[in-house]
A = this chain, B = another copy of it.
């Protein structure tokens, strides 16, 4: 018996896939995906639908916030800016930071939750071992929960849950194995859409995680033989 309806933010990457696997244990799920003109948008949307099919999720919302591309300010959505070819460094916020992005995603999730009666929103944000984005920190999500309390109807009660917030990529992959999360359907690469580049910051973090967890990454890389 499930404990009611949840919304899961599913980008199509590993973290959101494992978050869905966690939500699936206890809640009915509705999946939300947001396009913001990122370079690998089409590939990520395919991953979203593949994961939704895997969990037989019927309620799906794909929202378009293309205006973020017009606003700019991030190498993820501006091809003129170079994406760092190195692992994240906590001392500096990387160029892939999309200003205040998670607030856009969570606003859409909250509006949708208030309309369909979901009382929990899952997002696979990771603070530990992560990119240093300010809107991926636990303190930020606490502030967002306060905002929901103040900005929705008095009888609306919605909470943001971040089950991965303190996990390492290694922990996340181990959790994925335990819950049979379909990592073969996920996409992480910031640069390519057919075979992952293996050298962008996102690929490097992913590959390092698999190596540390002692598991083979099931997706194809540009330089892999199979």
Using a CB–CB distance below 8 Å, which chain A residues touch chain B?
61, 63-68, 70-73, 93, 97-104, 107-108, 110-112, 114-115, 134-135, 137, 139-140, 142-144, 146-154
Contact between B154 and A150, CB atoms less than 8 A apart: no
The copy count of this chain in the complex is 2
A111 to chain B, nearest CB (A): 4
Give chain A's interface secondary structure class. helix
Our pick among B70, B93, B107, B143 for the contact of A100 (Cβ within 8 Å) is: B107
State A101–B115 Cα separation when bound (angstroms): 12
Our pick among B110, B135, B139 for the contact of A99 (Cβ within 8 Å) is: B110
Contact between A143 and B134, CB atoms less than 8 A apart: no
Our pick among B103, B146, B149, B152 for the contact of A151 (Cβ within 8 Å) is: B103
State A97–B137 Cα separation when bound (angstroms): 30
